[in-house]
């Protein structure tokens, strides 16, 4: 089996049976990335030397028969907004082009403890603002299924890395769909955990009340395993959940879903939904019904306003979160300034991209005195209504099903000059972040043009176990997760 087709469990099996070593596997992935990433541009930086050293160390430990972690010897890619000690973490921004964090994000710490091998940092929309990975200050990432298309965003680099077979596992962050939408565009499994399940410490903040880190994998089982490795309360993040959480997802995936009540919100199936995607949803729903799930259409009414609420709240938080990049302590500093005000203004003007500036301005505006009540306060009210309407829905249903994206992967450059069109790409994903509930996107078919289509399962708070179970059952029935894109070398 070639590395690009391997799932985490295949690699683990290989290690157990001594078919290959971690160093061989790591080298293979790195070789493949070097060979093909010229046409994909999934990575901002590769971590070759350290990755090989880590692989060697894991090999030594496995050889001695030592107890190793959940992800021992698994090469992984990490979105470049998650801090890695001693490794550049740029947020795909000129502002942090040379920023080397002196600390690991809690997730990175946990991944290292679990034995994972970081092979590189992936491209993204600058500061995670965007839905196509075109807003990177460095380069646009291409969709491995069709390199004229975007991979989705903002975690497009991580999605492309797994889809292209540069790593079996990558991590991204999801503020309004930034894991699920690229997972959908790249034919992968992508999970946004419940807000608070995974520590945000070391994730460079965009919308603090919405951000969560989650995995991209080829299969639901790999997703379950990865979540086990990164989840849990963290004393460095007081918004991380202190209650009891499920520890085991993998072992219980195979339970059947007979009697599972699945709600179909009709607002997610209205005008604007690509008919091919609608058809793929219908097919999957039939499969689920055949498996014994009970499907029912219902109304989740305030969803039309979710997008506005999302852009107000996320931009407000972003305008404050990104204020620290002032050229004083770290990051980009302008060469020409006189006095402190110019230093700050010029540094920010020169180093932030267009979309980032747009969000900072929007966020500053909605928080300004005189506008606060009309925008931010209203959005917060909407937020509590959206939360309520999800809570109500989960009284009747175990899970909600929807498309992940209303549209198929679009052409590179197509929506770049039309931010509103770009924002609409998130219409099915943002409300989930606003409510703080978990959601998973899994591949459920292909368009006629052979572009992947993603289906989203939404669960109640901390119901990841059930979510993964449903996703696993559908995945097994559909059996499309073995299809791979064909890459060209440049």
Considering the complex, what minimum distance in angstroms separates the CB of residue 43 from other proteins? 20
Phi, psi angles (nearest 5°) of residue 410: -100, 170
Rounded Cα distance, 285 and 401, in Å: 9
Among 80, 134, 222, 317, binds other proteins (CB under 8 A): 317
Q: Which is nearer to other proteins, 347 or 441 (CB)?
A: 347
Q: Which is nearer to other proteins, 376 or 428 (CB)?
A: 376
**For residue 169, which of 8, 3, 1, 4 has the smallest C-alpha distance?**
8
Considering the complex, what minimum distance in angstroms separates the CB of residue 480 from other proteins? 36
The verdict on 430 binding other proteins (CB under 8 A) reads no
Among candidate residues 131, 136, 154, 441, the one labeled active-site is: 154
Among candidate residues 27, 41, 79, 415, the one labeled active-site is: 79
Q: Which is nearer to other proteins, 340 or 490 (CB)?
A: 340
For residue 398, what is the DSSP state?
Answer: S
Considering the complex, what minimum distance in angstroms separates the CB of residue 308 from other proteins? 17
Residues 6+ apart with CB under 8 A from 210: 175, 176, 195, 310, 313, 314, 317, 433, 434
Phi, psi angles (nearest 5°) of residue 213: -90, 145
Q: Please list the helix, strand and coil fractions of the chain in percent, rounded to the nearest 5, in that order.
A: 45, 15, 40
201 to 240: interface string for other proteins, x by CB under 8 A: xxxxx-xxx-------------------------xxxxx-
Contact 362, 320 (CB under 8 A): no
- Radius of gyration (C-alpha) of the chain in whole angstroms: 21
What is the enclosing helix (H) or strand (E) of 399?
A: strand 399-403
The verdict on 374 binding other proteins (CB under 8 A) reads no
Considering the complex, what minimum distance in angstroms separates the CB of residue 433 from other proteins? 12
The verdict on 83 binding other proteins (CB under 8 A) reads yes
Buried b (16+ CB within 10 A) or exposed e, 409-445: bbebebbbeebeebbbbbbbbbbbbbbbbbbbbbbbb
Phi, psi angles (nearest 5°) of residue 83: -70, 130
Among 1, 5, 63, 340, binds other proteins (CB under 8 A): 340
Contact 111, 141 (CB under 8 A): no
Q: Which is nearer to other proteins, 7 or 200 (CB)?
A: 200
79 is catalytic: yes
Among candidate residues 21, 178, 184, 405, the one labeled active-site is: 178
Return the ∠ at Cα 412 (arms to 411 and 415), rounded to 5°: 80
Rounded Cα distance, 169 and 189, in Å: 10
Considering the complex, what minimum distance in angstroms separates the CB of residue 325 from other proteins? 8
One-letter-per-residue 3-state SS of 347-361:
HHHHHCCHHHHHHHH
Among 267, 326, 350, 414, binds other proteins (CB under 8 A): 326
User: What three-state secondary structure class fits 297?
Assistant: strand
Q: Which stretch binds other proteins (CB under 8 A): 39-47, 77-85, 272-280, 446-454?
A: 77-85
Considering the complex, what minimum distance in angstroms separates the CB of residue 80 from other proteins? 11
Considering the complex, what minimum distance in angstroms separates the CB of residue 24 from other proteins? 33
The CA distances from residue 189 to 71, 302, 454, in Å, are 17, 27, 9
Q: Which is nearer to other proteins, 328 or 374 (CB)?
A: 328
Q: Which stretch binds other proteins (CB under 8 A): 62-70, 81-89, 222-230, 443-451?
A: 81-89
Considering the complex, what minimum distance in angstroms separates the CB of residue 408 from other proteins? 34
**Footprint (CB under 8 A) of other proteins, residues 87-106:** 89, 91, 96, 99, 101-103, 105
The verdict on 330 binding other proteins (CB under 8 A) reads yes
Number of other CB atoms surrounding residue 57 within 10 Å: 15
Among 43, 310, 311, 376, binds other proteins (CB under 8 A): 376
Q: Which stretch binds other proteins (CB under 8 A): 37-45, 281-289, 312-320, 426-434?
A: 312-320
For residue 19, what is the DSSP state?
Answer: S
The verdict on 329 binding other proteins (CB under 8 A) reads yes
What is the enclosing helix (H) or strand (E) of 163?
A: helix 156-163
Q: Which is nearer to other proteins, 100 or 295 (CB)?
A: 100
The verdict on 294 binding other proteins (CB under 8 A) reads no
List contacts with other proteins (CB under 8 A).
81-83, 89, 91, 96, 99, 101-103, 105, 200-205, 207-209, 235-239, 316-317, 319-320, 323-324, 326, 328-330, 340, 344, 364, 367-369, 372, 376
Where in the sequence numbering do the catalytic residues fall? 79, 154, 178
């Amino acid at each position: 089996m070639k590395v690009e087709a391997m799932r985490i469990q295949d690699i683990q099996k290989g290690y157990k049976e001594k078919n290959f070593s971690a160093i061989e596997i790591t080298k293979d992935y790195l070789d493949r990335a070097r060979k093909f990433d010229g046409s994909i541009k999934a990575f901002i930086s590769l971590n070759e030397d350290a990755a090989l050293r880590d692989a060697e160390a894991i090999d030594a430990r496995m050889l001695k028969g030592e107890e190793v972690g959940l992800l021992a010897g698994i090469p992984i890619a990490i979105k470049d907004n998650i801090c890695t000690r001693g490794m550049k973490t740029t947020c795909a921004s000129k502002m942090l082009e040379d920023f080397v964090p002196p600390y690991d994000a809690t997730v990175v710490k946990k991944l290292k403890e679990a034995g994972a091998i970081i092979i590189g940092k992936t491209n993204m929309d600058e500061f995670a603002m965007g839905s196509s990975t075109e807003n990177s200050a460095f380069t646009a990432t291409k969709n491995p299924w069709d390199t004229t298309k975007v991979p989705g965003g903002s975690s497009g680099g991580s999605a492309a890395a797994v889809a292209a077979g540069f790593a079996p596992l990558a991590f991204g962050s999801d503020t309004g769909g930034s894991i699920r939408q690229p997972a959908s565009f790249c034919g992968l499994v992508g999970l946004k955990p419940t807000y608070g399940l995974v520590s945000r410490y070391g994730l460079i903040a965009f919308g603090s009340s919405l951000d969560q880190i989650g995995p991209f994998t080829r299969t639901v089982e790999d997703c379950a395993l990865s979540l086990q490795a990164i989840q849990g309360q963290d004393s460095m993040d007081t918004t991380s959940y202190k209650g009891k959480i499920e520890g085991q997802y993998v072992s219980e995936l195979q339970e059947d879903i007979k009697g599972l009540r699945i709600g179909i919100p009709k607002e997610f199936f209205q005008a604007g939904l690509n008919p091919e995607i609608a058809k793929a949803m219908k097919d999957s729903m039939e499969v689920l019904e055949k498996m014994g799930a009970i499907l029912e259409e219902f109304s989740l009414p305030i969803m039309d306003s979710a997008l506005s609420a999302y852009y107000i709240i996320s931009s407000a938080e972003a305008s404050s979160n990104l204020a620290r990049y002032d050229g004083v302590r770290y990051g980009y500093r302008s060469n020409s300034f006189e006095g402190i005000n110019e230093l700050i203004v010029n540094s920010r003007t020169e180093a932030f991209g267009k979309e980032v500036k747009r969000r900072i301005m929007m966020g500053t505006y909605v928080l300004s005195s005189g506008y606060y009540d009309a925008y931010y306060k209203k959005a917060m009210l909407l937020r509590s209504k959206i939360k309520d309407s999800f809570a109500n829905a989960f009284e009747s249903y175990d899970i909600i099903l929807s498309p992940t994206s209303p549209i198929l992967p679009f052409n590179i450059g197509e929506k770049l000059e039309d931010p509103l069109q770009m924002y609409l790409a998130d219409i099915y994903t943002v409300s989930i972040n606003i409510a703080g509930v978990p959601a998973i996107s899994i591949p459920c078919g292909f368009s006629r043009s052979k572009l992947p289509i993603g289906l989203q399962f939404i669960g109640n708070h901390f119901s990841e176990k059930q979510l993964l179970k449903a996703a696993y059952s559908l995945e097994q029935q559909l059996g499309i997760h073995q299809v791979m894109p064909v890459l060209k070398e440049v």
